[in-house]
Amino acid sequence: MRVILLGFGSRPDVLEEAQRLRPLIEQHAEIVGFDLSGTEDMSAADADLAIVLGGDGSILRAAHQMGHRQVPVIAVNLGKLGFLADISPAELLDVLRDFHNGGLPVVEHLMFECRVSRDGGTAFRQIGLNEVAVQQGQPFRIMDVDLYVDSELVTTYSCDGLIVSTPVGSTGHGLSAGGPILRKDLQAFVVSPISPHTLTNRPVVDSADRTYEMVVADPGAETCVVVDGRVLCSLRPGDRVQVRRAREQFKLVAAPGHSYYRTLREKLGWGGRLKLGDNQ
């Protein structure tokens, strides 16, 4: 079995775990790619599996590194939250053996392609896993964002920004903006405004088979497009930010005992009961 080992080595715990785990992994697989910078292109790596060390940020970097050739991922959590990276280092070798023996399912998750159209052409293009956000910079003021779905004008948001997220991304920035949580294997996008200037605004959930476009008629000097937490480009008047389903899908190895709702309970502190005192 050929694997690539990825992580973000600027964190000391990632570097230490990579050094500790590498000889153990090599007892079961051949490591054909290794990168702890989060920047090396892994799309040409001839691998059966990626092992990613870190938190969800490391997972997003790894998805970008694999680009148009996504291989199944075993995500080892060394971070704080870890919605995607939820396997502990102690579980890694058992999960690796079970995957090699065909005993673990691989769950495919929606990815998107973001294009910024400018002057009749494509100025920027990026695939991603979590979300696309159009955000305001200095001078800080409310901006108007036109939302189009399949070329039809839906509405104009007056807000600090607008997020289009996948189900995987629905527990990220979109959740902080008041958006809903979508089960990770749904085929849908969520549109969530950031600090909308109205009391009647609500997030929208729609099919992943539609094309979403965001247009800012009067962008500020630092208004930008952010893909999975990283700035893709600054916006100019007339730019159109298009989000649509990508051909690629993110593939996550599902380890036993790590169910979706268990992750929500444990990571978000999500509970349905009030805990009352003994005398109440």
List the catalytic residues.
56
Determine the residue type at 70.
Answer: Q
Cα(107)–Cα(102) distance, integer angstroms: 14
